[in-house]
């Protein structure tokens, strides 16, 4: 699965180049497993030393917003470790909710909840996020969404070109940010060295995608996907390539991006 994902995402690479990406990914995956376990017991000061903020002025602008906002991220780097850093920074100022899909293991769910809650962050099951989005954002809270989550086959999806292939995405972040006119910040993650990461925040344009319409939701989703794709291409070894991201082909009920339908 890992080889198939990497080789089809970078067909222009030689086999040796893609094998190097795969090898680096497996080393990184081992790091992530150890770091995630260790993160449960790290002090706030230790987390702060391991995750730096490249543009703290943008984070400060985000914190000073009176209303809610979205932070757009993905399974890149160590999302548990840098997520803990944001929980620490927001503690006492804003309440953060990270949208997640509950795991089948109750033990793992309890561990993840404990790890986030001890630093002030909260996990929000996707179904509760969709049902209560206005309640959470109206209080000035922020919502962290992992943009690379895959819609289930039973859910209607939006397909756009991602790493050269038709890929299913949720459009909820674009939909609610445009409908409620809430800002969106993309979190660019870089792995500095083993156990150390840096974060850069990018506020995405909003006004040019207003007023709210379904077509503008799709356009805004394409913009968000573009930010995420560029981050992966800069350092592909640090994305979660074990994810079966392309297991679902487009169905008649799904919407296709113009990037997939326009003629060459």
Summarised one tens digit per residue, pLDDT across range 78-89 is 988 998 898 888
d(CA 91, CA 115): 14
Residue with tokens 């990018």: 202
pLDDT over threshold 80, residue 245 = yes
CA angle 237, 239, 242 (to 5 degrees): 100
10-37 pLDDT per residue, tens: 999 999 999 999 999 999 999 999 998 8
- What is the rounded average pLDDT of the residues 28-56? 93
Query: Residue 220 is encoded by which pair of tokens?
Result: 């805004």
Instruction: With respect to residue 211, please indicate whether it lies within any of the assigned structural domains.
Output: yes
Task: Report whether pLDDT(198) > 90.
Answer: yes
Domain that holds residue 85: 2-245
Whole-number pLDDT of residue 12 = 97
Give the residue with greater pLDDT, 263 vs 239: 239
Asked whether residue 252 is domain-assigned, the answer is no
Q: Is the pLDDT of residue 136 over 60?
A: yes
Is residue 118's pLDDT more than 90? no
Q: Which of 124-128, 190-194, 250-254 has the lowest mean pLDDT?
A: 124-128
230 within domain boundaries? yes
DSSP annotation of 118 reads T
Write the DSSP string, 184-231.
EEEEEEEEEETTEEEEEEEEPP-GGGPSP-HHHHHHHHHHHHHHHHHH
Domain-located, residue 53: yes
CA distance linking residue 140 with residue 189, whole number of Å: 25
Q: Which pLDDT score is estimated for 107?
A: 80
What is the mean predicted confidence (pLDDT) over 235-241? 97
> Is 87 inside a domain boundary?
yes
| pLDDT confidence tier of residue 230, bands split at 50, 70 and 90 | very high
Tokens of 22: 């795969």
The model's pTM is: 0.91
Residue 264 has pLDDT above 50, yes or no: no
Distance CA 40, CA 50 (A): 14
Instruction: Return the DSSP state at 60.
Output: H
Specify the pLDDT at position 105: 78
Q: pLDDT: is 213 or 114 the higher one?
A: 213
Q: Which residues pair with 97 in a beta bridge?
A: 122, 143
Q: What is the CATH number of the domain that holds 104?
A: 3.40.1130
pLDDT digits (tens, 9 = 90+) for 92-115: 888 888 887 777 778 877 877 777
Q: Which of 50-54, 125-129, 242-246, 250-254 has the highest mean pLDDT?
A: 50-54
Distance CA 140, CA 143 (A): 10
Q: What is the longest distance spanned by two Cα atoms in the chain? A: 54
pLDDT greater than 70 at residue 234: yes
261 belongs to a structural domain: no
Amino acid 263: pLDDT: 58
**264 in a structural domain:** no
Q: What share of the chain has pLDDT > 70, as a percent?
A: 98
Using 50, 70 and 90 to split pLDDT, how confident is the model at 232?
Answer: very high
Pinpoint the alpha helices (H) of the chain. 2-9, 15-39, 44-50, 56-63, 79-90, 106-117, 126-138, 172-179, 214-234, 258-261
| 254: in domain | no
Q: How many CB atoms lie within 10 A of CB 222?
A: 18
Indicate the number of domains in the chain: 1
């Amino acid at each position: 699965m890992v080889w198939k994902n990497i080789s089809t995402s970078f067909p222009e690479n030689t086999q040796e180049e893609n094998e190097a990406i795969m090898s680096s990914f497996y080393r990184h995956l081992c790091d992530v497993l150890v770091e995630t376990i260790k993160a449960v017991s790290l002090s706030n000061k230790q987390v702060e030393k391991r995750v730096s903020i490249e543009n703290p002025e943008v984070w400060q602008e985000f914190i000073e917003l009176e209303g809610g906002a979205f932070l757009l991220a993905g399974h890149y780097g160590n999302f548990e470790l840098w997520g803990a850093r944001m929980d620490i920074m927001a503690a006492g100022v804003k309440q953060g909710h990270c949208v997640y899909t509950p795991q089948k293991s109750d033990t793992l769910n309890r561990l993840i909840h404990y790890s986030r809650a001890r630093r002030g962050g909260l996990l929000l099951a996707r179904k509760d996020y969709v049902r209560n989005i206005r309640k959470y954002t109206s209080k000035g809270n922020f919502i962290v969404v992992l943009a690379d989550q895959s819609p289930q086959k039973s859910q209607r999806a939006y397909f756009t070109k991602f790493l050269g292939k038709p890929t299913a995405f949720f459009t909820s972040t674009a939909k609610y940010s445009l409908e409620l006119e809430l800002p969106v910040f993309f979190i660019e993650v870089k792995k500095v060295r083993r156990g150390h990461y840096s974060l850069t925040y990018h506020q995405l344009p909003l006004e040019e995608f207003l007023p709210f319409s379904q077509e503008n939701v799709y356009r805004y989703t394409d913009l968000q996907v573009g930010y995420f794709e560029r981050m992966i291409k800069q350092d592909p070894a640090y994305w979660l390539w074990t994810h079966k991201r392309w297991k679902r082909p487009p169905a008649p009920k799904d919407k296709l991006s113009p990037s997939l339908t326009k003629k060459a």
